[in-house]
Amino acid sequence: MAENFDYIIVGAGSSGCAVARRLSDNPASRVLLVESGGTNQSIFIKMAAGFAKIMGNPAYFWSFPVTPQPDRPLERHGYGKGLGGSSAVNGMWYLRGHPRDFDNWRAMGLPSWGWDDIAAAYKKIEDYRCAGADESRGTGGPLQITQSTYKSEVFDAIVAACNEQGVAWTDDICTPASSGVGRTQYTVDRRGKRASAYEAFLAPVRNRPNLKIMTDCTVKRILMDAGRAVAIECEVGGQSIRYCANREIILSAGVYRSPHLLMLSGIGPGAQLSELGIEVLQDLPAVGQNLCDHQKMGISFDLENHPGLNREFRGWRLARNALRYFATGTGPLARVGLPITAMVSSEGEPDWPDIQLAASPFAMRTVQEMAARPGSPISERPGITFAGFDLRPKGRGNVKLSSGDYRDAPLVDPRFWSDERDIAKARLLFGLLRRLAGASALSHYVGAERSPGAAVQCESEIMDALRRMTDPGLHGTGTCSMGVDHRNSVVGDDCRVHGVDGLRVVDCSIMPTPISGNTNAPAMAIGQRAAELIASGR
């Protein structure tokens, strides 16, 4: 006999954990959270600087094959798997997005998602206590956020280089103004441990009698009855099991998995589903469409007249730093690699940044070095890296079914550079990174360009290099977009799937347009905000 719950949440990522925490606050509500991955208890997940050790590990990452893109190497996109989802394996960067991002959603007919609503959600989840905090920040919430404590002459020189480019210092890079240069903020707690969504929201309450958390539980499909989502069919230990929802099923499986599960369940583009022999229960052509991702790139140089951070992660210094970390929760292993973040505008709107920059006196080995001599990806030589993200790309991709079998990964076509404006932005961003590195404030420290190399100068060489070095930020959004019209959106203002009772989507896939910054923080705020709507009966 199937076990019954009031709410079933599919996916224990950044949004799903926040939803589960908020809904289980009511002891009268029975909440089930199911997750395909494992418990994610590796020491390298908990250690702030440990994520380099787990990157690409299939125990912690989904690996989604990507449709071949013009003039780009074949690639796969890795999103987090297991308790915490991507928040358990990402770079821990914490940015909240710009108020205008959310107010634009409100202007699109989504009144529950303006900045005032999201700011209130952030204030409830945050525990940020660093000096200079903006008044909009929260303290006492379940999610500890800290900022970089790294200090050096190179740090000061990078800030001065940003100042030369017209980017002013800000004490809180997450201020609603969201422009300027400041210390990077992280989802790292005050003990130097990663604050994943699971550790922040659910670990403290995991023994609640009304909350059940299941790992290694893969959802095959959502079961419907007379237009209502009533249960999930799962595979657990090789057996097929059903769990029934008395009230609602909440899909928080991420930008690729949420549309994948909807389509497997008969909700999506009718023609596509019919071709695969799937019964069409709700024809929603926007499922899987509107995929958007920030594009990123980085260039690296030799670091001169300063040891930088590379040596701290090699040899006897690494052993010493490990001892320090386990004894005190401090030192290089309690930090993340990009201590400086800058938010700038290239589109003539200084109050709405469209480019995110970062810099660090640290460098990885180049592709050529790794090919010639495999081994540790950390460079033996001091280096300095400058990175940048295009925060408002114009091109849109899609996610489609590869088959009707839940075990087969979806077809992901990001359609990078399908819009000429994104190509122009990549070229602009590359030039900006080089100008930043060439600033007079850094002349004492920045040496020869390692990647792509100073020889890359003419336009054709630059564009060829950009095709190789531009990567997805893995900040995917939009595949179950919010909107008022079922012809071009998947869910409404209340996150309910159009035309289906008892089913909502709550994760970054509902974002109708991209956010100005990394998506982990907005994903948690979306979970908090959506849970409030659900708990209020909306």
Q: Count other Cβ atoms within 10 Å, centred on residue 457.
A: 8
What is the C-alpha separation between 76 and 79, in angstroms, rounded?
10
Between residues 212 and 321, which one has the greater pLDDT?
A: 212
The full length of the chain comes to 538
Place 283 in a pLDDT band, splitting at 50, 70 and 90: very high
Place 366 in a pLDDT band, splitting at 50, 70 and 90: confident
Q: What pLDDT does residue 200 have?
A: 98
Q: What angle do CA 21, 98, 260 make, to 5 degrees?
A: 55
Lowest mean pLDDT among 112-126, 324-338, 478-492: 324-338
Q: What pLDDT does residue 348 have?
A: 78
Q: What angle do CA 449, 453, 458 make, to 5 degrees?
A: 125
Task: Taking the CA atoms of 183, 185, 186 and 189 in sequence, report the sign of the dihedral they define.
Answer: positive
What pairs with residue 22 in β-bridges? none
Buried b / exposed e over 66-104, threshold 16 CB at 10 Å, is beebeeeeebebbbbbbbbbbbbbbbbbbbbbbbbbbeb
Task: Taking the CA atoms of 460, 463, 467 and 468 in sequence, report the sign of the dihedral they define.
Answer: positive
- Range list of H helices, 139-204: 153-164, 197
- Host H or E run for residue 461: helix 459-469
The token pair that represents 1 in the structure block: 């006999």
- Which entry of 77, 98, 294, 475 is annotated as an active-site residue? 475
**Is 456 annotated as belonging to a binding site?**
no
What pairs with residue 355 in β-bridges? 344, 390
Q: pLDDT tens digits for 243-273?
A: 999 999 999 999 999 999 999 999 999 999 9
Residue closest to 196 by CA, chosen among 39, 337, 320: 39
**211, 205 contact by CB (below 8 A):** yes
Is 260 one of the annotated active-site residues of the chain?
Answer: no
Q: What pLDDT does residue 51 have?
A: 82
**48, 88 contact by CB (below 8 A):** no
Show the domain range for 327: 3-536
How many domains, in total, are found in the chain?
A: 1
What pairs with residue 217 in β-bridges? 236
Q: What is the mean pLDDT of the chain?
A: 95
Helix, coil or strand: residue 399: strand
**524, 14 contact by CB (below 8 A):** yes
Q: Model pTM?
A: 0.96
Q: What is the CATH number of the domain that holds 472?
A: 3.50.50.60
Average pLDDT (179-194) is 96
- Range list of H helices, 309-442: 315-328, 367-372, 420-437
Place 516 in a pLDDT band, splitting at 50, 70 and 90: very high
- Host H or E run for residue 469: helix 459-469
Place 535 in a pLDDT band, splitting at 50, 70 and 90: very high
Q: Count other Cβ atoms within 10 Å, centred on residue 203.
A: 16
The token pair that represents 475 in the structure block: 């900040």
- Is beta strand 211-214 parallel, antiparallel or unpaired with respect to 31-34? parallel
Average pLDDT (133-155) is 97
Q: What pLDDT does residue 1 have?
A: 65
Lowest mean pLDDT among 7-11, 47-51, 186-190: 47-51
Position 159 pLDDT exceeds 90: yes
Task: Cite the beta strand spans of 179-336 per DSSP E.
Answer: 180-183, 185-186, 211-214, 217-225, 228-236, 239-251, 267-268, 282-283, 295-303
Task: Count H helices and E strands in the chain, helices first.
Answer: 13, 23
Q: Count other Cβ atoms within 10 Å, centred on residue 372.
A: 9
